[in-house]
Amino acid sequence: MTETPKPPVAALRRHSFTHHGITVEDPYAWLRDPGYPEVKDTDVLAYLGAENAYFEAVMSPQKGLVEAILGEMKGRVKDDDSSVPQRDGDFFYWYAFDAGAEYRKWYRRPIGAGSDVVIVDEPKLAEGHDYFQLGGLAVSPNGRLLAYAVDTNGSERYVLRVRDLETGADLPDVIENWRYGLVWAADSQSFLYTDADENWRSKVVWHHRLGDAQSADRAVYIEEAEEFGVQIGRTQSRKYAVLQTGDHATSEVRLLPTDDFAAAPVLVSPRKADRQYDVDEREGTLYIRVNDTHPNFRVVTAPVSAPEQWHELIAGSDRHYLQSATSFKNLLAVEERVEGLSQIRLHHYEDGSHRYIAFPEASFVANLSTNPEYHVDRLRIDYQSMVTPNTVYDYHLEGDRLETLKVREIPSGYDPSQYATERLMAPARDGTLVPVSIVYRRDFVKDGRGPLHVYAYGAYGFAFPPGFSANRLSLLDRGFAYAIAHIRGGDDLGYQWYLDGKLEKRANTFNDFVDVTRFLIDQGFASPGRVTASGGSAGGELMGAIINQAPELYGAVAAHVPFVDVLNTMLDDTLPLTPGEWPEWGNPIADKAAFELIRSYSPYDNVKAQAYPALLITGGLNDPRVTYWEPAKWAAKLRAAKTDDNVLLLKTNMGAGHGGKSGRYVSLEEEAEEYAFLISQIDR
C-alpha cells in the first residue's frame, strides 16, 4: 500500500496591519503575489503546486469512485443535445452539440424556408485552449452582423469580434477587455459596450463605430462613484439602450435612443441611497419596478417625456415579491415569487386585469426564457422542480394553455416516481421559520442514519430555487437525502429576506444554515457527523462560518472558490469588486463597527484550534471575483490550527477562474471529484 504523503505546510511570515487602533496578525499574507493579476512568485506557485500534488495523492484511491460517478453524470447528458429554436425577426436561432463535443454550435435558419447556418462554432474557437467561454452573442437589427466575445483563460476579460453572417468572415473590429453588455444601434452601423478597467470594474459605456479602432471609441457615459459600476441592456421595444449604474443596494437608470447614440442619455430618476429600480418601455410609456415604498417592489408607469411622473400600476405586497417586469407590446409579464414559489403574472394594459399561468406541480421553478420579440402571441417558459427535469414550454395567450416543447432527456434513464420531495419549515434560533426543500429516494428511511447533504448560498439576494439536478442523482442513488436551505441573505421569501441576512444581520445567514441542519437531524434525516455540506463563492464563506460555529454537525464539507478572507478583501479598495461590495458587507475602512462586525465572522479570521470536518477547498488562479489567495490562506491557516486528523484538500485550477473548468464534460469531473470526496469521507 502506498503511504499518503504528508500535507504541505505553508511558511509563517510575520505580517500585521492596524485599523481603528486594532492590530491584526496575518502570517499568510505572502500568498498574495504582489504582481497580481500575474502570478509569478516562485514561493506562491510552489505552495499551490504542492497542494495540488497532495490533492492528487489523497484522491488517488478514490479514482475508481470518481470515474464511476463521472460515468453516471455523462450518461445523463444527451450527447447531441440542442435547444428549442426561438424566433427573432426573420430567423429562428438555436444551439446544438455534436456528439461528444465539449462546446456547442450556434445556428440560425430563415423563417419559412432556407437551410441551417452555423453562426458560431464554439469547438473551433476553443481549439488549442485549456479553457474557453463564450461571453455573449448579439445579432444586429438588420440581421447581417453578429457580435460575439470569448474568454480563453477564465479571467472574464473577453475579446469581442464582429462577424459578417453573409460571408462568415470576421470584420477587423476587435474590442479588448469587453465585459457583459452590448446594444446595437438601430442602423446596425455601431454599438454600445462596457469594458473592464485595470481593476476589473465597468465604469464606462463606450460607443464603437464599425471600422474604427477601439482607441477611437467615444465614452457615452462615465460613472464617477467609486462603488458604482455600469451595465447596459435594451428595452423590449428595442427603442432604447438602458444604461444602469449601481451597487448592491442602489441603482440609477439612463435611456439612450437606439436610433441616436449621439444624443445625451436621459436620466429616469436620480439615485437615492438603498433604492433600486429598473426600467422597460412600451409605446412611449416607461414601466418601472422599484422598491421605494415596499421592500418587495411595486410597478409604476411614467411618460418617456416626463420619466419622474410616476403613477402606481401594481402596489407593493408582503406576499408578492415582484422580481421583474417585461413590457411586451400586448401585455406586461411580471415574474414574482409568492411565499417563496415562482409565479408569472400577465397584466393586460386595456382594463388592468391580470391572470397567473397555472403550472402542474405544487412546488416548482418557472421563469420567462428568451422572448426577444416585442409583440407576442406566446411566451417561452423554463420550468423544473426537484423531481421534474428541465422543461421548455410555450404558453399560448389564446387558449391559456401550456405546450410542452422539450423535456430534458436523461439517456441513462430516470423514473421520477422513485423520488420524493418535501418543503419543510425549520425554526431558526430567533424563531424565524426557514424554508427547506429536500429530495430523496422513496426508500430513504428517516431513522437518523442518513446520510444527508445540505446546500445553500445566502447572499446578494440570490435565491437558490428548488430545481432539478441530474448530477444530484449520484448522491440520491447512494442513499443521500439532498436539502436546499433557503436561508436569509437570499431573496427566497422576498427582498426583506435578503435584507435580513446582510450587513449587521449577516449572522442570520450562518445561524439559519446550522439551525436547518439541526432541524433535519431532529427529523431523522441524519445524525451529527453524517451530514455533508457545500457552497461556492459567498456560499463558500457560509461553509467557513458554519464549520467555525458547529463543526461537529458535519462529516465533510466542500467550499468552492470561497470568499473567506472577508476582512482583508473589504479593506483593500484596489481589488476589483471591493468598493461595490461595501453595501453588502459594510465598509471596514471608514467604519469601525463594520470592521469589528466583519472580523467577528470572517472565516479566515476565526479559524481556531478545534476539530474540523474533512474539507475540500477549491480556487482559481485567474479568478477576478474571489482571488486565489483567499482559499489558499484559509487552507494554510486551517491546516496549522485544526486539532483533528481529518483530511484537508486544496485544489487550485491553474488555468481557470471563478467557474472552474469549462466544457460540458470536463466541468463534470470537478463535481464528480466533490461527490467522491464527500461520499468517501462520510463512509469512513
The confidence score (pLDDT) of residue 214 equals 97
| Cα–Cα dist 511/472, whole Å | 25
Q: How much is the mean pLDDT over the chain? A: 95
Distance of CA 278 to the CA centre of its chain: 20
Please state the CATH superfamily assignment of the domain spanning residues 276-410 in this structure: Prolyl oligopeptidase, N-terminal domain (2.130.10.120)
Residue 135 predicted with pLDDT over 50: yes
What residue ranges do the domains of the chain occupy?
16-74+434-682, 129-261, 276-410
Percent of the chain clearing pLDDT 90 (strictly above): 89
- Higher-confidence position of 1 and 535: 535
Residue 254 confidence class, pLDDT cut points 50, 70, 90: very high
* Cβ density class 446-473: b for 16+ within 10 Å, e for less: eeeebbbbbbbbbbbbebbbbbbbbbbb
User: So which residues are the catalytic ones?
Assistant: 537, 623, 658
Contact predicate 648/578, CB 8 Å: no
The confidence score (pLDDT) of residue 683 equals 76
Matching CATH number, 129-261, of 1.10.8.60, 3.40.50.620, 3.40.50.1970, 2.130.10.120: 2.130.10.120
Residue 625 confidence class, pLDDT cut points 50, 70, 90: confident
For 534-585, what is each residue's pLDDT tens digit? Answer: 999 999 999 999 999 999 999 999 999 999 999 999 999 988 778 889 999 9
Tell me the β-bridge partners of 418. none
The 10 Å Cβ neighbour count of residue 122 is 23
Backbone phi and psi for residue 432, each to the nearest 5 degrees, phi listed first: -70, 140
The confidence score (pLDDT) of residue 113 equals 84
Give the mean model confidence (pLDDT) for residues 377-401. 96
Residue 248 confidence class, pLDDT cut points 50, 70, 90: confident
The confidence score (pLDDT) of residue 623 equals 81
Q: Do domains 16-74+434-682 and 129-261 have the same CATH topology?
A: no
For 634-649, what is each residue's pLDDT tens digit? Answer: 999 999 999 999 999 9
The confidence score (pLDDT) of residue 1 equals 44
* Cβ density class 89-101: b for 16+ within 10 Å, e for less: eebbbbbbbeeeb
The confidence score (pLDDT) of residue 684 equals 67
| Cα–Cα dist 626/657, whole Å | 9
Helices (H), 361-506: 473-476, 495-499
Report field, pTM of the whole predicted structure over 0.85: yes
| Cα–Cα dist 335/350, whole Å | 20
| Cα–Cα dist 487/494, whole Å | 11
Cα angle for residues 227, 232, 235 (degrees, 5° grid): 135
The confidence score (pLDDT) of residue 226 equals 87
Give 445's contacts (C-beta < 8 A, 6+ positions apart): none
Dump the DSSP string for 280-306: EEETTEEEEEE-SS-TT-EEEEEETTS
Give 316's contacts (C-beta < 8 A, 6+ positions apart): 291, 293, 294, 295, 296, 297, 298, 322
The confidence score (pLDDT) of residue 2 equals 55
Residue 99 predicted with pLDDT over 70: yes
Residue 659 confidence class, pLDDT cut points 50, 70, 90: low
Give the mean model confidence (pLDDT) for residues 44-61. 96
Residue 661 predicted with pLDDT over 70: no
What class, spelled out in words, does domain 16-74+434-682 have in CATH?
alpha beta
Residue 257 predicted with pLDDT over 80: yes
Residue 49 confidence class, pLDDT cut points 50, 70, 90: very high
Site of grid cell 391580470 = 354
Residue 164 confidence class, pLDDT cut points 50, 70, 90: very high
Residue 180 confidence class, pLDDT cut points 50, 70, 90: confident
Residue 664 predicted with pLDDT over 90: no
Residue 526 predicted with pLDDT over 50: yes
The confidence score (pLDDT) of residue 666 equals 83
